Amino acid sequence: MTVYFEDIKLGDSAEFGKTLTEADILMFAAASGDNNPVHLNQEYAEKTPFKTRIAHGMLTASLISTILGTKLPGEGTIYLSQSARFKAPVIIGQTVTARVTVIELDSAKKRVKMKTECLVNGKVVLEGESLVIAPSKI
């Protein structure tokens, strides 16, 4: 689906949630090449401050781009930039809900700035901003 620039308003928001299972962590590790033992080695992870394996921070961040590319604005969106501050670890098996909220619209360039957050049990684990060009009807 696509929400065109002309139909986007300040405050518009969309969410995408996903449980980050062991299989997700393995596939993300395979695709990214990030085989850090804190994600893949339970014995190692138990000796870290996290006490267990955690999800890759960039996997959590990637849920934001899922919203941008498939929901708001959706297909045809051009991704210009993303910032992400990692506030808390996500334990494997937790469900992350990503949310984007429109905070700025640039009609000349069809640019949309979004506030982005990822939450686990209502707690912010990641926050940042996205900048995209939304598809236009014109």
**Least distance between its own copies and beta carbon 21 (Å):** 4
**Least distance between its own copies and beta carbon 128 (Å):** 8
Of 105 and 131, which has the nearer Cβ to its own copies?
Answer: 131
Q: How far apart are CA 32 and CA 55, in angstroms?
A: 13
Cβ–Cβ under 8 Å, residues 54 and 92? yes
**Least distance between its own copies and beta carbon 92 (Å):** 9
- What are the beta bridge partners of residue 104? 113
**Least distance between its own copies and beta carbon 11 (Å):** 20
For the chain, the residue count is: 138
Of 43 and 108, which has the nearer Cβ to its own copies?
Answer: 43
Of 10 and 30, which has the nearer Cβ to its own copies?
Answer: 30
Of 101 and 127, which has the nearer Cβ to its own copies?
Answer: 127
What Å distances lie between residue 103 and 3, 23, 78, 113, 128, CA to CA? 16, 34, 17, 6, 12
Cβ–Cβ under 8 Å, residues 67 and 134? no
- Tokens standing for 40? 């893949």
Binding site for its own copies (CB under 8 A): 1, 16-19, 21-38, 40-44, 48, 53, 56-59, 61-66, 69-70, 75-76, 79-86, 95, 97, 128
